[in-house]
Amino acid sequence: MNSELILFDFGGVLAPEGFQLGILILSRMFSKTYKEMYEIVGYEAGLRSGYTAGKTGESVFWKTLSENLGIKDDLASLRYVFLDNFQPRKDMLELVSELKDTYRLGIFSDQTNWIYELDEKYDFFRYFDCRFISYDLGFTKHDSEFYRIPSEKTGIDPASILVVDDKPRVVDNCIKAGMLGYLFTSVSACREYLAGMKTAIT
């Protein structure tokens, strides 16, 4: 298996799934089930408002959240419930650092403007050669167009691009788009998989 470019999801791979953890906290704060709050935050405020794809700003996200919860308060003060849970995994960044001499590396993620604040705090962009962020591109991982962009932007054949993601749906979509996909379950398993791939091409 010969890959020139390895793309890593952010939340769930490079960092814990801060968005889902944030939703869990909000569900407890507003006496909702996780499923109910995920529908409100993930779909209504995130996807359907256009925020995740960068078509609207963060204020629309919080306004949509308030409206769906039936309250008048501005909830922007609660953004910490997401941002505080996105601290990059030290062992994943160590792994990424080890791969830099062999591969081009990138981020492939449904993230908003928050990822830039997180980079200012944790300085992880320096490990990567390219970034494919939904907020910048106008598409999310729910859109087939998103999966064509890495090859179009880099000129690398899809068959030479590996995507590491923690969601089976995304891995399946990557494979359908002609890329390679690896389902992330743990840092140790990912390290072992990538070590085997590196050995195969050296």
- Mean pLDDT, to the nearest integer, of 158-179? 98
Rounded Cα distance, 14 and 72, in Å:
35
Q: Which whole number is the average pLDDT over 50-67?
A: 97
Q: Is the pLDDT of residue 201 over 80?
A: no
- Across all residues in the chain, what is the average pLDDT? 95
DSSP tag of 15: B
Q: Token pair of 24, please? A: 């869990």
List the beta bridge partners of residue 194. none
In words, the CATH class of domain 5-16+88-201 is alpha beta
Residue 128 has pLDDT above 80, yes or no: yes
Rounded average pLDDT over 197-201: 61
Nearest alpha-carbon partner for 13 in 82, 66, 83, 89 = 89
Confidence of residue 197 (pLDDT cuts 50, 70, 90): confident
Domains of the chain, residue spans: 5-16+88-201, 18-83
pLDDT in tens, 18-45: 999 999 999 999 999 999 999 999 999 9
